A and B are shown apart, each in its own frame.
Chain A
Amino acid sequence: MKHSALQIFRQAWSSHRKWPRTWSSPEPKPAYDVVIVGGGGHGLATAFYLASEHGIRNVAVLEKGWIGGGNTGRNTTIVRSNYLLDGNEPFYEWSLKLWEGLEQSLNYNVMMSQRGVINLFHSDSQRDGFIRRGNAMLMHGADAKLMDRDELEKVLPYLDFDNARFPVLGGLCQPRGGTARHDAVAWGFARAADQLGVDIIQNCEVTGMRIKDGAIEGLDTTRGFIGAGKVGLAVAGNSSRLASMAGLRLPIESHVLQAFVSESIKPLVDTVVTFGAGHFYVSQSDKGGLVFGGDLDGYNSYAQRGNLPTAEHIMESGMAMMPCLGRVRVVRHWGGVMDMTMDGSPIIGLTPVTGLYLNGGWCYGGFKATPGSGWVFAYTLARGEPHQLNAAYRLDRFSTGRIIDEKGMGPQPNLH
């Protein structure tokens, strides 16, 4: 059924009790052409683009829990393409372009809101760095706008502009950036993929991989063996665990990143703001809660919860940037497990095992990449080779020295 205003009107006559299920729950078939492991945004997007762009419809998405229940449901919903390096910016800009048409291509409201993303700067050298990044974005066809203090005072009057240590001198704004509703992204991709014939199989955990003569044959799961011509891993946070089933060690550490939501307040933050001095960023959800976060806790962790020193640091950074936050109460906080790569950039491409493809290493930037990641991963799975947009994200870049280190931190996963 296609969603439309007429359909809402029609369903109202039956008190909205007769809407069909958004996606079906089929039993797994014995084998598929392509099996995607991981029913988050990236896995579902991959399945959707395999079916819609490449005509490969004998596809299953295996999810150990419920779809969108991992990092797709645990992020802070920010969408942007404000990167510096050649390997990154064209990919993220393509992803942002897909976001802009996503609701039409999925026929689903993902509540995409291009409210702008503003990165604040506090020193001359930081401003120079941001101008350079803004120019790189413009040269790759993205949008960027340098804002001075006067302009910022009009849109963000509550900032502590005259902070003695970190005065706000200006900001780099990407007006086309913004937020989207994270759950709806998973549901929208699932619905669209399901309508094209993709099997979405929940509560199905992969327990092993069958590899013969260096090629993948299928997966052992909690619902039996499932044969596969090709397997795509889209399980960021747990990529190392899945890859170890194929005998691979990855340049990845799993780390925990926390996020917070305040009580609902009247409209205050109508954009996304990031603090350039500490690590703090904030936006306001449509329900009125301030959604914010900061740095990683900094130690290897698969626990989806963080520790208090980091929470305290994030609150302090928030207070330094927006002193008015002091009266707002936090109502929820949680942690998500991040695949932190050794250079801070994702890995999308082939692995040493024939037929096994990897999409992971998203660090804490995976949500914005959801459509772009699915699009290039579908291409890579269908053609057996990477698209130009993900060619730089190959797994073997660490052995060839072609790393993509946006922040120049070196091989320290907890610093990216």
Chain B
Amino acid sequence: MRIPCPNCGERGLEEFSYRGDATVTRPTSIEPSSESAWLDYVYLRDNPYGPHWEFWHHISGCRAWFRLKRDTVTHKVLAVALAAGVDGEDHRS
């Protein structure tokens, strides 16, 4: 499996580390009423058989975080985008 970094292009898998599902959203509230939203964020996953949006970190390269849409059955890469700006937040700052 080769991973296309948005900055560096296609590189070997061993240069990257994996952070998992990129579709879950961290709740902004810490009120008890947001318990089920936290359960969703921390524990529950769609775990799709097929296309999956996931976070990768080019840890041994440019150190950028990015989102990758990859097929979990064929490992085919379908889309890639820098993670910065997800949820309106710039994760680089």
A residues with CB within 8 A of B? 238, 240-241, 244, 249-254, 298-303, 307-309, 342, 398-399, 411-414
Contact of A253 with B45 at beta-carbon distance under 8 Å, contacts A301-B72, A303-B72 already known:
yes
In the complex, what distance in Å separates the CA atom of A250 from the CA atom of B70? 20
Number of interface residues of B (CB under 8 A): 26
Are A299 and B46 interface neighbours, CB within 8 A? no
Q: Which partner residue on chain A sits nearest B36 by CB separation?
A: A399
Are B42 and A414 interface neighbours, CB within 8 A? no
CB distance from A75 to the nearest CB of B (A): 21
Are B75 and A301 interface neighbours, CB within 8 A? yes
Q: Which residues of B contact A240 (CB under 8 A)?
A: 45-47, 49
Interface string of B40-81 (1 = CB under 8 A from A): 101111110100101000000000000000101111000000
Are A411 and B42 interface neighbours, CB within 8 A? yes
In the complex, what distance in Å separates the CA atom of A365 from the CA atom of B41? 26
A-B contact pairs, 21 of them (CB 8 A): A238-B49, A240-B45, A240-B46, A241-B49, A244-B46, A250-B45, A250-B47, A253-B21, A253-B47, A298-B18, A299-B54, A300-B21, A300-B72, A302-B72, A302-B73, A303-B72, A307-B1, A309-B14, A398-B43, A399-B36, A413-B20
In the complex, what distance in Å separates the CA atom of A249 from the CA atom of B48? 10
Q: Which partner residue on chain B sits nearest A244 by CB separation?
A: B46
The SS class assigned to the A binding surface is mixed
B residues with CB within 8 A of A? 1, 12-14, 17-18, 20-21, 35-36, 39-40, 42-47, 49, 52, 54, 70, 72-75
Are A254 and B72 interface neighbours, CB within 8 A? yes
Q: Which partner residue on chain A sits nearest B3 by CB separation?
A: A299
Contact of A249 with B72 at beta-carbon distance under 8 Å, contacts A298-B18, A307-B13, A309-B14 already known:
no
Of A244, A398, A412, A414, which contacts B39 at CB under 8 A? A398
In the complex, what distance in Å separates the CA atom of A303 from the CA atom of B20? 16
Are B18 and A251 interface neighbours, CB within 8 A? no
Are B54 and A300 interface neighbours, CB within 8 A? yes
> In this complex, which of A299, A342, A413, A414 has the most chain B Cβ atoms within 10 angstroms of its Cβ?
A299
Q: Which partner residue on chain A sits nearest B54 by CB separation?
A: A300
CB distance from A315 to the nearest CB of B (A): 14
Are A249 and B13 interface neighbours, CB within 8 A? no
Are B49 and A251 interface neighbours, CB within 8 A? no
Q: Which residues of B contact A413 (CB under 8 A)?
A: 20
Q: Which residues of A contact B49 (CB under 8 A)?
A: 238, 240-241, 254, 302
Q: Which residues of B contact A250 (CB under 8 A)?
A: 44-45, 47
The 10 closest A-B pairs by CB, nearest first: A240-B47, A309-B14, A251-B43, A398-B43, A249-B44, A299-B18, A342-B43, A302-B73, A307-B1, A300-B72
Are A252 and B39 interface neighbours, CB within 8 A? no
Contact of A252 with B12 at beta-carbon distance under 8 Å, contacts A299-B54, A413-B20 already known:
no
Q: Which residues of B contact A398 (CB under 8 A)?
A: 39, 42-44
Of B12, B13, B20, B42, which contacts A300 at CB under 8 A? B20
Q: Which residues of B contact A414 (CB under 8 A)?
A: 18, 20
Q: Which residues of B contact A251 (CB under 8 A)?
A: 43-45
Q: Which residues of B contact A301 (CB under 8 A)?
A: 72, 75
Q: Which residues of A contact B42 (CB under 8 A)?
A: 342, 398, 411
In the complex, what distance in Å separates the CA atom of A311 from the CA atom of B60? 19
Q: Which partner residue on chain B sits nearest A412 by CB separation?
A: B20
Q: Which residues of B contact A298 (CB under 8 A)?
A: 17-18
